[in-house]
Structure formats: C-alpha cells, structure tokens
Copies of this chain bind each other. A is one copy, B any other.
Amino acid sequence: MALILLTNDDGIFAPGINAIREELERIGGHEVWAVAPDRERSASGHAITMYRPLFPIKVAIAGAQSPCYSVTGTPADSAKLAIEALLPRRPDLVISGINRGANLGTDIFYSGTCAAALEGPILGIPAIASSLDSWESRDYSLAARFTAELAFKVLAEGLPAGTLLNVNIPARPADQVAGVRITRMGERLYKDQWDKRTDPRGRTYYWLAGELMEMDNGPDTDVVAVAHGYISVTPVQLDLTRYDQMQRLAGWDLQP
C-alpha cells in the first residue's frame, strides 16, 4: 500500500487539499497523510525556518482516514518535516495542492506550492504540484479527479530522479476543458508592479501590485495551454545547470 503525503501553501484547512484527500480516499487502496502550514503561506517561495522551532499539531479533519497535521512554518518546512520526522515511513509520492490560483511559468519560483512539492525530488521522492486556475472557484472536483488520476499514473510508471510534475487545471466544468497538454514552462511578467505611497509620517513605502503583462509565450507553454482551456502538465527538473553554457564559460579563462 503506497503512502502519499499531501501538503500545500494555503493551509491545512483549505478546500483544495481536502478535495484531493477526499478523492484519493474515495478511490482507496492508499494511505494519505496531510501535513501543511497552519495558515496561508502563498508566495513564500522555498523559504525554510532555521531560527525558531516548528510545532506540528494534530488536527481533526472531518472524514480523514489518516492523521492530518498543521505546522507552524512554511510549505517547504511542512513537507520536509513530514517526510523526515512525522510520517510512519518514507512516502511514495508527494502531492502539493490543490492550490487556490495557478502556478504558471516563472511564477513557480515564488510558489509555496511548488517549493513544498520540490522537497519530494530533493529527498528522492516523486512529486506533483497541482493548482486550480482561479482565486474564486470553490469547485475542486475536476482538479481533484485529474490530480488523483495523475498520481496513480506516477505511482505505477515512476518519474526519473529529480523530477516533479507541475499541473494547472482550468476552472471550468470537465466537458468544457479542451484536453490535456504536456507543456514547457512559459514566462510571466507583471507591469506597474509597485504602488508607491506615503505613510502618515511622510515615509515612502511600496505595495507589490501589478497586472499580468501580455507575453509572447508559445503554444507549447503552460501559460498558453491553461489560457486556452487545457489542463497543463509540465515536467520540472531539480538540476538547474545550463549545460550549453559550460564550454563557453570555460573559454573565458577566469583566474583566481
């Protein structure tokens, strides 16, 4: 019986993580533990907590068949602590999500969802990051069904070391979804990012704001796939080396 770790960056009580837990437990045949932050931790990137301790608290989630924990830390903290200290054994798969809001293109660098999932491959375990492309929708049914299908596929077929799948699901009924695309990571940039204000004491401060810029992303990117109503699945790697530049840099003849 496979052991699956669920985690996220929206917190242990968020609807997305409970939708995928319920779907996996409905299908059955696997043990599903949920360990996630005690509150929303979006945009926390891959931050980990080094200078204060973490408290895992067992929480009661209606209907859950295995333990669920909240952790007083970041998404990456939660996944790392779960894998290395809380679970009864090494999990066979890490699923992070289902996130409220997409994690597409270069935005995945900021994503707590993807950071938590990455703890899987960092520790040698395959992983899926799953996100619903909506901040409003409470309907995680298609996303849960698809993520569960993909999870069983990953458990059966495996992923190469150092790999996770980043999944984004459009927020529409299943019969209006265009299909599934295997995609590459696109680019996402924002315009008018900073809202400049003055506080009551005359000091300048800035709010991060901004709107998505229109980008010339190719049809094979995650960004365009989801915009066109497809479920996007991007294989993401841990190895960030840009191999095609190694020989060029060697030619720079750098000296200590």
Residue positions of A touching B, CB distance < 8 A: 42-50, 53-56, 74, 76-77, 80-81, 84-85, 106, 108-110, 115, 118, 122-123, 142, 146, 149-150, 153, 157, 159-160, 163, 165, 174, 177, 179-180, 182, 184-185, 189, 193-194, 196-197, 203-208, 231, 233-243, 245-246, 249-250, 252, 254-256
14 more contacts with CB within 8 A, not counting A45-B74, A54-B205, are: A46-B46, A46-B115, A47-B47, A54-B207, A54-B208, A55-B205, A84-B194, A149-B255, A153-B252, A160-B242, A180-B255, A182-B249, A184-B246, A240-B240
What are the 10 closest A-B residue pairs judged by CB atoms, nearest first?
Answer: A45-B46, A235-B245, A45-B45, A237-B242, A235-B242, A177-B256, A184-B241, A45-B47, A53-B205, A47-B47
Do B180 and A256 touch (CB < 8 A)? Answer: yes
Q: In chain B, what residue has the closest Cβ to A46?
A: B45
A256-B56 in contact (CB<8A): no
Residues of B within 8 Å of A204, CB to CB, are: 55-56
Measured between alpha carbons, how far is A84 from B195 in the docked complex, in Å? 11
Q: How far is the CB of A54 from chain B (nearest CB, A)?
A: 5
Interface of A is mostly: mixed
Given contacts A46-B46, A47-B43, A194-B81, contact A233 B254 (CB under 8 A): yes
Closest residue of B by beta carbon distance from A221: B241
Bound CA–CA A146/B256 (angstroms):
6
Complex: A74 Cα to B74 Cα, angstroms? 14
In the bound complex, CA of A90 to CA of B145 (Å): 45
- Residue in chain B with minimal CB distance to A81: B206
Report the Cα distance A53→B193, complex, angstroms.
12
- Contact at A235–B241, with CB atoms within 8 Å? yes
Can you list 25 A-B pairs, Cβ within 8 angstroms, ordered by A? A43-B47, A45-B74, A45-B76, A46-B109, A47-B47, A50-B208, A53-B197, A53-B205, A55-B206, A76-B110, A81-B194, A85-B196, A108-B240, A122-B189, A142-B256, A146-B254, A165-B249, A177-B256, A180-B255, A182-B250, A185-B241, A231-B256, A234-B241, A237-B241, A237-B242
Rounded to whole angstroms, the CA-CA distance of A254 and B56 in the bound complex is 36
Contact of A256 among B115, B174, B196 (CB under 8 A): B174
| Nearest B-chain residue to A57, judged by Cβ | B203
Among A48, A203, A208, the most chain B Cβ lie within 10 Å of the Cβ of A208
Across the two chains, which residue of chain B brings its CB closest to A121?
A: B106
Residues of B within 8 A of A179 (CB): 256
